[in-house]
Structures are given as structure tokens and as C-alpha cells.
Amino acid sequence: MTSGTRPRLAFVSPLFLFPNDAGGKIRTTNILRGLKDGAFDVTLISPATAEQQRDWAAELGSVCDRFVAWQPARVRPRWQRALDLLGELPVNVAVDRTPAALAVVRDTLAAQRFDVAVFDFVHAAVLRPPHIDAATVCFTHNVEAEIFARHATQAQGALMRRVWASQQRKMQRFEREALSRFDAVVAVSERDAKQFRERHGLAHTAVIPTGVDLDFFAWRAPPPVDAAHPPTVVFTGSMDWAANIDGVQFFLDEVWPRVVARVPQARFKVVGRHPPAALVERARGPAVSFTGFVDDVRPHVQAAHVFVIPLRVGGGTRIKAFEAMAMGCPMVSTAIGIEGLDVVDGEHYLCRDSAEAQAAAVIDLLDSANQRMALSERARSCVEAQFGHRVAAGVFERICLDALQRHRAGAGIVSRTSMAETSHAVND
């Protein structure tokens, strides 16, 4: 089928996707790459400077048939951003609602006849025009209100707990109102979809698996622990995200001292953009290093003996978990760090929540080459069987086609029965 006869899909992203330095960007890029040259002719609409469009032209061409950009807003001073706390919208929604974004999304959707309009992340719904003559889909990567609620629980001090609690209430209201307007809501785990149904009364939900590029993240046997390969623990993730900062700080304060007490030569490497200067200063010493942004996380993960996800807050699913599993790096994670992923504790990874238990698991893996290899091989087999990114993109495509069919049939709001059947089909 030629692109001229394929239905047209507009994909609105509030983020420029490149470089792929955050989990949401990676997930969206994998979905778009899988949609490219498939059932839909895809137009990607997102912020981008002229320089970004030039430097990432090849990557943009790999994920869409055409690209439409709006000029990114300048970063506002901290005091101006603080004023968003007083508004009706949650702060991460308010920051996306810029005049340039609203105008480009409105004009592009009005000027071209699209069959399906996808909004990436729930906060992108703030850019949705009042009327769209197309099937509408919201691709949620998290239950955002839950993330705010968890921050409120972990926050230090009464003031910050009140701030996070206020943001949680605003986000819960925004999620409920925004998601109810879509023909289909895509969640990244059945757990998230269940929350949307139970908290907001949304029947029109479907689930896609978390996908990883198995060719790019190739398996490699864990290295030995020897003079050339000192015992190394690694964490990957954007270090300007509050959940990652909290998790790494907890690991450094509570877990890592227990590890080095037993394994003095151990090293901990934090791989991710923009680590806070205060955190880097606190961890100063030969045993801990922060890389900042890297072009490729694979050498860092493949050189490590243990991959940790010590998160205490967060939502959705962590692509970093499947990337580590695909590469064969044995993993220790909290329950929140692995939340929503269909993997088994003790078979594919080790689930440990307390500082004592995390430290003991890391020490055991550093001490046992056999245990590292067993987890490595079983984790890779699990990802190969269930979580290739092409599988996730194929499911996403079917959800969009189903939404289009219902829209054309004039069904409007999706029934509970039809979407329950779709959700079961996705997970079978």
C-alpha cells in the first residue's frame, strides 16, 4: 500500500526525541520506528530548533514520513517557574502549554486531514485543540498523579510534602479530565491501565508491552571480577529527574557503605545527564563516579557486574530494566524500580527494597560468577521471548487502527466490553 493510500497519523510529542537520553524518549522512538512504513503515514509534531532538525535529520527520517516543528520556549528563571505552583495546572503540564506549541499543533491538525491524532504523555493533552476530526489516542508512559503522591510520601519537610500533595491533586484532576476525552488511552502496563479504569472510570484503555531493541542492546556475558575488571555496580538514568536523584541518593547513603565495607575495591558508576552538583560533591571519592551525558550507555552497562534500580518513587515502567536484561547485566531492583514489568524475582532479577537487602544482593552477585551468569542468560531469554520493540510497535499500531475503525463507525466513546477484549488480546 502506498503512502498516499495509507491513513494519516499525527503524533504530537512535547519533547524533541533526540538524543534518546530518557526512558520516555526511548520508548516513543521505538514505537515510531516500528510504525514507520507500516499501516500509517506518520507526521511527527514536536519542538525543535533549526539546529536540532539539521543535526538529527537522519534519525527523524527513521521515525516519521514528515516532521513539523515549533520553536522551543526559552528556559524561564526559577522564580518564574515557581509561580506555576500557584496555577490550576500541574507544573509539568503548565510548562508544555506555550503559544508556539498550541499554534503549530492547532494549525497542522486543521490544515491536513489526519485520520488519527496521538498525543504523547498525558501532559501533551494540554496542546489538544477543542475539536479534532480524527480518532484520538493518548500514549501514557506513567500514572503521573501516582508519581506526585510518592514524592509527597518521600519528601523531607512539611512544606515540600504539601507542595507535592497539591501537585498530586492537580494532576489527578487533569488526568481524569484530559484522558476522558480520548477515543483510546494506551498504558505501558496492566497495572497502570487498571488504575486509569478504577480511579478515573476510563473504560477505553489498552496496554502495550515495554519494548527494547534486541539488536542494538546485544547480549554479552558478564565480565569476570579480576584485576582488569574491578567489581563494578552501575545505574543509568537521567540525573535531572527527581525520582532518579532520590534513588541514587538513597543508594549512596544507605546501600553503598554496606557494599564497600564487604567489597572495598567495589566501584559505583552513575551514567546519566545533569547530575546535581551537590550529589556529586557528596559522593566525591575514587569509589563513585558520575559520567554525565554519554552517547551510548552500552559500554558502561556491559563492563559492569551489577545493574541497580534503587528507585523509591516513580511510575510506569522502566525501559532501563529491559535494556540491562537484554545486555545481560545482572540486576538488583526495588519493587517500584521493576513495577509493571512481567519478570520474576530470583529468576530474571533480584527484588530488594531495604538498604540491607539491596546491599546483600549486590555483594552476593559480585562474589558469584555463576549467579551472575544464570541471571544474565535467563533475563536475556525473557526479553527475547516477550519484549522486542517490534512487538510493542505492532500492538500500538493495532490500537490506533481499532480507534480509527470505531471513529469512522461513529462509535464515539469506546465501550467497556470492546476495550476489555482489546486489552486481553494485547496481553495474550
Q: DSSP for 81-100?
A: HHHGGGSSS-HHHHTT--HH
Position of cell 499500531? Answer: 397
| Surface-to-core class of residue 291, CB atoms within 10 Å of its CB (0-12 exposed, 13-18 middle, 19+ buried) | middle
Are 304 and 418 contained in the same domain? Answer: no
Are 105 and 201 contained in the same domain? Answer: yes
* 219 within some domain: no
Are 393 and 334 contained in the same domain? Answer: no
Are 87 and 203 contained in the same domain? Answer: yes
Are 201 and 252 contained in the same domain? Answer: no
**Residue 81, pLDDT score:** 72
* 56 within some domain: yes
* Domain carrying residue 402: 8-211+389-427
Are 380 and 403 contained in the same domain? Answer: no
Domain count, the chain: 2
* 1 within some domain: no
CATH number at residue 282: 3.40.50.2000
**Which three cell numbers, joined as nine digits, stand for 172?**
489527578
Are 251 and 379 contained in the same domain? Answer: yes
Are 164 and 267 contained in the same domain? Answer: no
Are 145 and 71 contained in the same domain? Answer: yes
Which residues have a Cβ under 8 Å from the Cβ of 309 and sit 6 or more positions away? 235, 247, 318, 320, 321, 331, 332, 333, 334, 337, 338
Are 70 and 119 contained in the same domain? Answer: yes
Strands, E assignment, 159-310:
184-187, 205-207, 232-236, 267-271, 288-292, 306-309
The 10 Å Cβ neighbour count of residue 113 is: 10
Are 81 and 172 contained in the same domain? Answer: yes
* 283 within some domain: yes
* 308 within some domain: yes
* 217 within some domain: no
* 111 within some domain: yes
Report the C-alpha gap between 415 and 403 in whole angstroms. 12
Residues 376, 328 contacting (CB under 8 angstroms): yes
Are 84 and 161 contained in the same domain? Answer: yes
**Which three cell numbers, joined as nine digits, stand for 186?**
494506551
Return phi, psi of residue 331, to 5°: -120, 140
* 157 within some domain: yes
For 123, which DSSP code? G
Q: What is the pLDDT along the chain (428 residues), one digit of tens a residue?
A: 344 589 999 999 999 999 988 888 988 998 999 999 999 999 999 999 999 999 999 999 999 999 999 999 887 777 777 777 888 899 889 989 999 999 999 999 999 899 999 999 999 999 999 999 999 999 998 888 888 888 888 888 899 899 889 989 999 999 999 999 999 999 988 888 998 998 888 878 999 987 788 888 999 999 999 999 999 999 999 999 888 999 999 999 999 999 999 999 999 999 999 999 999 998 887 799 999 999 899 999 999 999 999 999 876 567 889 899 999 999 999 999 998 788 999 999 999 999 999 999 999 999 999 999 999 999 999 988 877 778 889 999 999 999 999 998 874 444 333 333 333 333 33
